[in-house]
């Protein structure tokens, strides 16, 4: 292998990482190398970029260790041995274990504590996926803001019309009423204010214009009557 200090070495658990992923990784990463331990039941296949690297001999970036012995976790133990080997031979190299097996994480913690190293564990190779970029949606043109309608000037309030003073009832001709009522004896004349009002209204029915308030005012002014507490006193006796 073309082993140079300062590079990265990935120790791959092939029980968790497929050959296709290793091929993609070697195609994208042109500087790092990989270490693989295979056994009799391993599904690892050297093809494509892996086979191309193996054909380079000493300049290959792929280190494959194979065992025909089928024992429990033998491949995992051999992979850890390779980690220790690289730690001693290449102290400046970044060592990374690629596996979903949590046992490697515990082993890395022990080695880091013992050696003061920084061996990392990850669950998959850093392979970038080139997704076709979706064309950006065209931004919809912003709707033009409608100009605000000009506020109509408020109509000036029309000044309220002055209320016309209520027309006073026509002044009754009290003298005509007096001419009629004076011909009656005092005892036959109205003795209360209400009775006087009714008497004036009755005369008005004959066609003589006579407003009760005006007639009473005239009778008082001419000193024909006085009214106190609703009692009418005739003064022509």
Q: What is the CATH number of domain 8-122?
A: 3.40.50
Q: Which one-letter DSSP state was computed for residue 60?
A: -
Winning range, highest mean pLDDT, from 2-11, 40-49, 120-129: 120-129
Provide DSSP, 110-137: HHHHHH----EEESS------PPPPPPP
The SS3 assignment for 38 reads strand
pTM value is: 0.50
User: Can you tell me the mean pLDDT for 17-25?
Assistant: 88
Element (H, E) at 217: helix 212-221
Predicted local distance difference test score (pLDDT) of residue 167 = 44
pLDDT tens per residue, range 149-168? 777 777 777 767 666 655 44
More confident residue, 143 or 75: 75
User: What value, to the nearest 5°, has the Cα angle with vertex 180 and ends 175 and 186?
Assistant: 105
Parallel, antiparallel or unpaired: strands 231-234 and 225-228: antiparallel
Residue pair 34/10 in contact by the 8 Å Cβ criterion: yes
Whether the predicted pLDDT of 131 surpasses 60: no
User: Can you tell me the mean pLDDT for 102-129?
Assistant: 91
179/170 Cα distance (integer angstroms): 19
Predicted local distance difference test score (pLDDT) of residue 4 = 53
User: Can you tell me the mean pLDDT for 51-69?
Assistant: 86
User: Can you tell me the mean pLDDT for 42-70?
Assistant: 85
154/83 Cα distance (integer angstroms): 90
């Amino acid at each position: 292998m073309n082993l140079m200090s300062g590079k990265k070495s990935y120790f791959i658990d092939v029980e968790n990482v497929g050959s296709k992923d290793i091929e993609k990784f070697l195609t994208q990463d042109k500087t790092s190398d990989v270490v693989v331990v295979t056994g009799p039941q391993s599904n690892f296949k050297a093809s494509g970029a892996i086979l191309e690297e193996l054909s380079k001999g000493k300049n290959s970036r792929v280190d494959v260790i194979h065992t025909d012995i089928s024992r429990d976790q033998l491949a995992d133990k051999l992979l850890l041995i390779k980690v220790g080997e690289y730690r001693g031979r290449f102290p400046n190299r970044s060592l990374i274990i690629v596996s979903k097996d949590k046992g490697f994480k515990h082993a890395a913690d022990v080695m880091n504590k013992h050696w003061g190293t920084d061996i990392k564990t990850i669950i998959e190779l850093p392979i970038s996926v080139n997704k076709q970029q979706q064309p950006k949606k065209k931004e919809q043109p912003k709707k033009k803001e409608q100009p605000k309608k000009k506020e109509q000037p408020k109509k000036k309030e029309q000044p309220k019309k002055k209320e016309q003073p209520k027309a006073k009832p026509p002044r009754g001709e009290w003298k005509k009423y007096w001419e009629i009522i004076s011909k009656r004896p005092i005892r036959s004349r109205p003795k209360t204010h209400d009775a006087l009002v009714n008497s004036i209204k009755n005369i008005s029915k004959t066609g003589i214009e006579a407003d009760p308030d005006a007639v009473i005012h005239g009778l008082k002014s001419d000193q024909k009557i006085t009214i106190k507490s609703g009692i009418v006193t005739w003064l022509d006796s």
